[in-house]
Amino acid sequence: MLATFVLLSITINAQIKNSKTETVKIYGNCGMCETKIEKAGTIKKVAMVDWNQETQMATLTYDATKTNQDEILKRIALAGYDSDKFLAPDDVYSNLHGCCQYERVAKVPAKEEVKTEETTENHNNHGNYTETPKTEVQEVNQLKVVFDNYFIVKDAMISSDGNVASIASKELLVSINNIKMEKLEMNVHMVWMKVLNQIKEDAEHIADTKDIKHQREHFATLSKDIYELIKVAKYNVPVYFQFCPMYNDGKGANWLSKENAVKNPYYGSMMLTCGKTVETIK
């Protein structure tokens, strides 16, 4: 058994470049949970999830240049399964099969605990503590959440999964509404004010339906505005601005991706590799 596990680990690491492996707890009950958890978190050649039903521990192996633990756990939460960092939406949990409805335990998100510890440390160790560093961190973090949620919506479009796209877009709306504009730098603030109403409208349309065709129509305009925002606000890894010439009766449409390899969100598996990268944003 040990030899098999080691061989499997070596195989996974060989498939995933820049691999990083972490172990986290994800709540579930049965074999059906295992299938759903692993499917939600796994992306071919980018991330692999191996969940143990007995221990409720999951081994995450992922390309650290293309994704991170939070993104994987968010996708799993959107499928209905809590971790110690992200809770599944109540309506998604309620729709799980009866045997999959594990006992839910109230938890404080890990990032909030870390933030509290860091703040305490700053006050204890630095007598001249000021709000400026905290403001800079806040600016980066709040916009990163918007971008992260956009990428989750994009992945749902690639999978042609209107249900997940709807749920992910609700999370996108939350992150948009949580932005504190007064903490944005002036150039970012100006773009944010310009695109805010439209990105909210597009996110609402995607959230309010499970019709993938309608969702994709609004994803096209959402992507245009997120592009303008990410150009000035930047992201923590290179982002690829990509173009599909076939969509919208040949008028074409763009989207943003953390991977240079094209995975078309407008046609999914029908024309997965249709398109090209037209700009790299660093």
Q: Are residues 189 and 260 in the same domain?
A: yes
pLDDT tens for residues 151-200? 999 999 999 999 999 999 999 999 999 998 878 888 888 899 899 999 99
Q: Are residues 262 and 187 in the same domain?
A: yes
**How many structural domains comprise the chain?**
2
Do 82 and 34 lie in one domain? The reply is yes
Residues 60 and 172 in one domain: no
CATH at residue 24: 3.30.70.100
Pick from 69, 96, 95, 97: nearest CA to 83: 69
Out of 91, 110, 129, a domain closes at: 110
Q: Please indicate, yes or no, if residue 5 is contained in any of the structural domains.
A: no
Please calculate the CA angle 175-34-212 and round it to the nearest 5 degrees.
Answer: 45
Cα–Cα distance measured from residue 25 to residue 224, given in angstroms and rounded to the nearest whole number: 37
Instruction: With cut-offs at 50, 70 and 90, classify the pLDDT of residue 257.
Output: very high
Each as own residue / partner, the long-range contacts of residues 211-217 (CB below 8 Å, 24 or more positions apart, any chain) are: 211/162, 212/157, 212/160, 212/161, 212/162, 212/165, 215/157, 215/162, 215/165, 215/166, 215/169, 216/157, 216/247, 216/265, 216/266
Residues 71 and 171 sit within 8 Å (Cβ to Cβ): no
Residue 221 lies in a domain: yes
Does residue 83 have a pLDDT over 60? Answer: yes
Is 148 within a domain?
yes
Same domain, 52 and 160: no
Please give the structure tokens belonging to residue 62: 């992922």
**pLDDT (tens digit, 9 = 90+) per residue, 30-43?**
999 999 999 999 99
Residue 172 sits in the same domain as residue 76 = no
Domain range for 37 is: 17-110
